[in-house]
Amino acid sequence: MKSKQLLTFLSSILLTSTWTLTHAGQNCSELLNKTFPKLQDDTPVNLCQYVGNVVLVVNTASFCGFTKQYGGLQKIHKKYKDKGLVILGFPSNDFNQEPGSNKEIADFCESTYGVKFPMFANSSVKGVGANSLFKTLAQKSEEPIWNFHKYLIDKNGTFHRSFSPFTSPTSKRMKAEIEKLLAVDKNNQSS
């Protein structure tokens, strides 16, 4: 009798797990249905968890003329995070300005700019070796021309537009686009 109960219990766990794995990503866009290791500890993070938020994807570097944009990114993170904005930082050495280890990059971001938004492990963001998110973003707009290229994604996980590194994260133009997307109901969006 106990083995039958155990078998029933294990079967229900297996069915629940299978359903969760099969259906968890159903509301996730193809663009965000990707997993990347966190910068701080390499823990895998699936970007589907950010569907329902406005997402700003940025390729970053510690030794760049635009590095001070970390401060602006942190500022808009603090201002809009409770309203539904998520900033995702992707360090990259594609422009030879991010040579450090993941730990060194994480320490720099925290100690210099107090970065609290999600950061991911150092990866390529352009060319044939680009990570899967940046490959898709390049197909939908353009690949990064330099560090701190920005991509705005709506609440449904659909690409909205990109901004060059010359556009400050705190510029009126950037904030207006973010606020426009934050104001739109996820289910009534026309992207």
Q: Which residues are catalytic?
A: 64
C-alpha distance from residue 3 to each of 11, 12, 15, 123 (Å): 12, 14, 18, 49
Q: How many helices (H) and strands (E) does the chain have?
A: 5, 6
Cα–Cα distance measured from residue 68 to residue 83, given in angstroms and rounded to the nearest whole number: 24
Q: Which residues of 112-146 are buried (b: 16+ CB within 10 A; e: fewer)?
A: ebebebbbbbbbbbbeeebbebbbbbbeeeebbeb
Q: Show Cβ contacts of residue 45 under 8 Å, excluding neighbours closer than 6 positions.
A: 35, 36, 37, 38, 118, 120
> Do 35 and 47 meet the contact criterion of CB atoms below 8 Å apart?
yes
AA identity, residue 83: K
Residue 92: CB atoms within 10 A of its CB come to: 23
